[in-house]
Structure 1
Amino acid sequence: MSPPVPPVGAAPAPPAPPAAPPPRRRGRLLVALAGVLVLVLAVAGLAVLRPGPVARLLGGEATPSGATAAPPEPDPPVVLAGPDGNAPLPTDAGIRAALEPLVGAAALGDRVNVSVADVATGEALYGKGPDAPTVPASVTKLATGVAVLAARGPAYRIPTRAVAGPNPGEVVLVGGGDPTLAVDKNGFYPGAARLDDLAAQVRDALGGTAPTKVIVDSSLFTGPVFEPGWDADIPTGGFGAAITALMTDGARKDPALARRTAEETNHAAERVPQPDLTAGRQFAKLLGLTGGAAQVTRGAAPTAGGSGSAGPAPGTELGKVESLPVIRLVDIMISDSDNVIAEVMARQVALAKGKPGSFAGGAAATDEVLGELGLPAGEISLADGSGLSRTNRISPSLLTDLITLAGNGSHPELAAIFGGLPVGGWSGTLDERYRAAATAAGAGVVRAKTGTLTGVNAIAGTVLTADGRLLTFAVLTDRTQGSLDETRQALDRITAALAGCGCR
């Protein structure tokens, strides 16, 4: 397994001592990931949990009463410790010899753009159209993650507030853009802020004044709620949602069902059409309002000041809850390829840079932040933060530059980008990959974000070579026509070739 490279001058992490594998997959994982967790915890001071579907992050593995226990899963591949600081650098000729027979595979189509570089030095080792703008699909989330970590910082939390409305008993629910906000303890995202906690604060703040109405203020986000470049089935297919500044459970209609579905099939979940009003109705119910739709309307929070005839003055804060820290939101976004979180993260970048909280604002702000980090911002053109838009373009070399910057210790706050990267043959979108004989060398040592749209397949991340050298790679294809399995196998052969050779 390849964690980010420690800062210059830091000692490499010692390899984990060998141990007999416990029967439970989760137990082996926690031991094997120790090298990565130590670094990320040191950088962020926050817990980073196992990549994979969010519903599994905090357990849920016990067998229900009366149910038959499932047979134990086969042991996952061994995940290696950190890179060897003394490992030799692969040569350009060695990398070329390993990859040239593979990048022309028919399953990859007629447009395959590749970049490979060394993380420690930033030296480019191989390129095939490395600077060519290519449709990145969900690999876009790497750029979004780096941008929000730089603009907001790993510890930033997104507030959801309630303030007194213009008339006694009216409560304004003000969305701050937390996509993980839950109604109660049964929310989709473990550890999320909760509306029932906020409702309790509001009742205390109102004292003897009974709630009469909920006004929903989701004006922090502007512009269209769906990106025009999204495929027609995205709004209805469950992989995306209407992006509003107030929502619960990522706009999922039934978070409990969505959680079971994510665990069992990784399918998309049905989303509500108006996430902000849905959240307002949920909040109204928690406040004891059970009347018609007239008790929940959209509106703007009044400016604080003055005094009310009864109860708190209009605009007075009645309560506030805060999201998981950005480091955790980025982790979930990458490990689960959560498109809704990605779109909200892009808007957080926009707000941090003083731009509108919209698709266009997020794209412009991401470009600005990457430029400030010294990355070639001219090689990225975005329409959204998730990668659902087919109008997005990113060059492979920008991705390897970005990963190198996050991993070389020059910007410690960016190292959090690695916490959610799926591990080959082990977790997330790479859980079932790198299991065939032709790609087995990549199991446990490839950590990468994948991207998939019809005709578009991409992968970008890090790989530990047989010599212990940490490389970064990006392989983007946007004219594939074969089966998805064949294309993924062809991509995996490329990264497995890097894993299996010293390339000298």
Structure 2
Amino acid sequence: MPSPPVHSSSPAQPGSTGHPSPAHPSSAAQPGPASRPVPPGSTPVTGPPGAAGGPPRRRRRWVPVLLVLVLLVGLAGAAAVLRPGPVAGWLGADPTPSPSARPPEPDPSPVLAGPDAAAPVPTPAGVRAAVEPLTGAAALGSRVNVSVADVVSGESLYARGGDDGTVPASVTKLATGVTVLKARGPGYRIATRALAGANPGEVVLVGGGDPTLAVDKSGFYPGAARLDTLAAQVKQALGGTAPTRVVVDSTLFPGPVHGPGWDADIPTGGFGASITALMTDGARQDPAGARKNFADSHGAATRYAEPDLAAGRSFARLLGLPETGVVRGTAPAAGGATEGGAPAPGTELGKVESLPMIRLVDIMITDSDNVIAEALARQVALARNQQASFAGGAAAMDEVIGELGLPADEISLADASGLSRNNRISPSLLTDLIGLAGNGTHPELTAIFGGLPVAAWSGTLGTRYESTSTAAGAGVVRAKTGTLTGVHAIAGLVTTRDGRLLTFAVLTDQAPGGDPEVTRAALDRIAGALAGCGCR
């Protein structure tokens, strides 16, 4: 399937992460679009030029173990499947299966092997010889920043502007995934609650920030929590009291609903949305249609302008109430007096919970889901006692990066999805993040690998690495991609011809106009060169 063109004249094409695979949009094998292009005539990205091929600096040394890297490849659709080890705990206990239940899922087949400490180590000179001539490709533009490091040792093997902040586009989601897994943990679930309102029969729907919440079984995200389940709980809890009105409380996410540095068409162009603490199906108006047409639309979907009110109206309908009566408000504090046998104000009438964080991160990376990314950044903020806003999420992510012992001064974020052109991340910080997630010291971080596309196999890399000049990377490059007009990025893992596992990041934010496929091919040649050489 060819990737869509990247320009601003069509409302349906993505500007980031290429094309989706034709599979279900939230299965592990297919991605979605991420960042949108900027309209012609917008201000180009500027920044200090990177030092071309300067001496690689010595970064953190890593424990020579890559635990769980392949385990998570088969996680899609995992919520109802028994799994061994820590993953079973993260996903939560399953009920006793009925005779008609599906059999346990078999262990996934290896897609990318762990590091072989005995494999020959590339030399900085060998990596430079393989990579540096390719960084001068005209399609990459005037600012190409690169980092290549060895996963086993953590040693930098090549850096060109490696520490320079560069617009990362959707590659930002790697930082989002790592920080939310660290802050919340893989097993954390986001709750949506219904509380008794101030008046008898009044129901307050309280958003907890679950972007995957569905109205019913026709939701976009398989296995998501559902409003019809919550409505049934509420009816039972109210007993003989009839529901009278729905009040929507989405105050958990304060501040602007659109991110700084977003192109003007992002809120309505199908790839972004208003970020509110309560929404259904990532704010999609037609989740079933969006799921069915995911591949053809490249993941674009019409979104509600006010997702919280739209969710409240759906909830009112499920309770048998008119949608016109839904209003915004705040939940009363618990402990009020009962009236006429109705539950006391603030009493919890029901609760549903999202998929575990390990699955939300997997979907975010696989589908390059911008709305999930922004919601997860707010979970980082809440976990670190920051305001659950764009600014609070960015500050909290920065804090967690520092907690992990990584150079927080090499990341500056305005959002968590990569839609913002104000974001800056250095290539070397990306390779550090990827290495840290895979070196065994933080097994909770390995969920970022489950959704990474595989070259010439899945996701945004499904139809890449098929030419003669890039074929060495087929099956051995696993990476997150990102694209805005003039911005192209790729970061991930690659196994060399000799079996050595490397982490790499290539970012260019001053690429010339023209066919984005040409620029992507130039990026792929760099990773392909690493795959095809011993680099010694």
TM-score by length of 2: 0.81
**What does 1:18-417 align with in structure 2 at a 5 Å threshold?**
42-45=85-88, 79=111, 81-289=113-321, 291=322, 293=324, 295-310=325-340, 311-417=342-448
Counterpart residue identity of residue 235, structure 1: P
For residues 445-484 of structure 1, the aligned pairs below 5 Å read 445-481=476-512, 482-484=514-516
Deviations 1:206-262 (A, max 9, x none): 001110100000000010000131001101101100000000000001001111121
Closer, same or farther: CA 227–299 of 1 in aligned 2, 3 Å:
same
Provide the rounded CA distance (Å) in 2 between the counterparts of 1:430 and 1:80. Answer: 14
Which amino acid is the alignment partner of residue 267 of structure 2?
A: P
User: Could you tell me how far 1:306 is from its partner in structure 2?
Assistant: 2.5
Whole-angstrom distance in 1 between the partners of 2:470 and 2:90: 32
Displacement of 1:416: 1.3
Question: 1:441 aligned to 2:472?
Answer: yes
Q: Residue 172 of structure 1: SS of its match in structure 2? A: strand
User: Does structure 1 conserve the Cα–Cα contact (< 8 Å) formed by 2:69 and 2:446?
Assistant: no
Return the letter of the residue paired with 1:392: N
| Distance apart, 1:84 and its partner CA | 2.5
Please tell me whether residue 485 in structure 1 is matched to residue 485 in structure 2. Answer: no
After TM superposition, give the deviation of residue 30 of structure 1 in Å. 6.6
CA distance in 2, matches of 1:187, 1:93: 52
In the TM superposition, residue 435 of structure 1 has moved relative to its aligned partner by: 1.2
Alpha-carbon distance in 2 for matches of 1:287, 1:468: 59
For 2:266 and 2:306, locate their aligned partners in 1 and report how far apart those are by CA, in whole Å: 15
Does the residue aligned with 1:117 lie in a helix, a strand or coil? strand
**Residue 44 of structure 1: CA displacement?**
2.8
CA distance in 1, matches of 2:383, 2:115: 35
> Which amino acid is 1:196 matched to?
D
Q: Is the 8 A contact 1:12 1:83 kept in 2?
A: no
Q: Tell me, what secondary structure is at the counterpart of 2:125? A: helix
Structure 1: 4+ residue segments shifted above 6 A: 9-16
TM-superposed CA distance for 1:119, in Å, is 0.9
**Cα distance in structure 1, aligned partners of 2:399 and 2:244:** 44
Query: Structure 2: which amino acid aligns with 1:180?
Result: T
Aligned partners of 2:428, 2:188: CA distance in 1, in Å?
A: 29
Aligned mates of 1:11, 1:471 — CA distance in 2: 12
Query: Cα 1:110–1:8, aligned 2, differ >3 Å: closer, same or farther?
Result: closer
Identity fraction in percent: 72
Q: Which amino acid aligns with 2:255?
A: G
Local SS of the residue matching 1:474? strand
Counterpart position of 1:500: 532
Give 1:43 shift. Answer: 4.7
Alpha-carbon distance, 1:436 to partner: 1.3
Contact 1:12-1:84 within 8 A present in 2 as well: no
Check 1:149–1:456 CA distance in 2 against 1; reply closer, same or farther (3 A cut). same
State whether residues 190 and 208 of structure 2, in contact with CA within 8 Å, keep that contact through their aligned partners in structure 1: yes
Higher mean alpha-carbon deviation, 474-483 vs 380-389, is at 474-483
Cα distance in 2 between the residues matched to 1:47 and 1:211: 36
Q: Specify whether residues 12 and 326 from structure 1 end up closer, same or farther in structure 2 by C-alpha distance, changes over 3 A only.
A: closer
In the alignment, what sits opposite 1:428? 459
Structure 1 segments unaligned to the other structure (5+ residues)? 1-6, 17-28, 34-39, 49-58, 60-77
The alignment's TM-score, normalised by the length of structure 1, stands at: 0.86
Q: Kindly indicate whether the alpha-carbon contact (under 8 Å) linking 1:424 and 1:430 is maintained by their aligned counterparts in 2.
A: yes
Deviation at 1:431, TM superposition (A): 1.1
Residue 197 of structure 1, CA deviation: 0.4
Q: Secondary structure at the match of 1:45?
A: helix
Q: After superposition, what is the alpha-carbon deviation per residue over 1:338-366, rounded to whole angstroms, capped at 9, x for unaligned?
A: 00000000000000000101000000000
Alpha carbons 2:90, 2:188 under 8 Å: kept: no
CA distance in 2, matches of 1:43, 1:502: 35
CA contact 1:43–1:415 (8 Å) conserved in 2? no
C-alpha distance in 2 between matches for 1:296 and 1:206: 18
Q: Structure 1 residue 451: deviation in Å? A: 0.6
Instruction: Name the CA distance, whole Å, in 1 between partners of 2:313 and 2:69.
Output: 53
Indicate if the aligned counterparts of 1:12 and 1:85 stay in contact, CA closer than 8 A. Answer: no
> Do the aligned partners of 1:43 and 1:412 also contact (CA within 8 Å) in 2?
no
Measure, in 2, the Cα distance between the counterparts of 1:211 and 1:320.
17
Size of the alignment, in residue pairs? 449
* Distance in 2 (alpha carbons) for counterparts of 1:127 and 1:480: 19
What SS is found at the alignment partner of 2:293?
A: helix
Alignment-mate amino acid for residue 499 of structure 2 = G
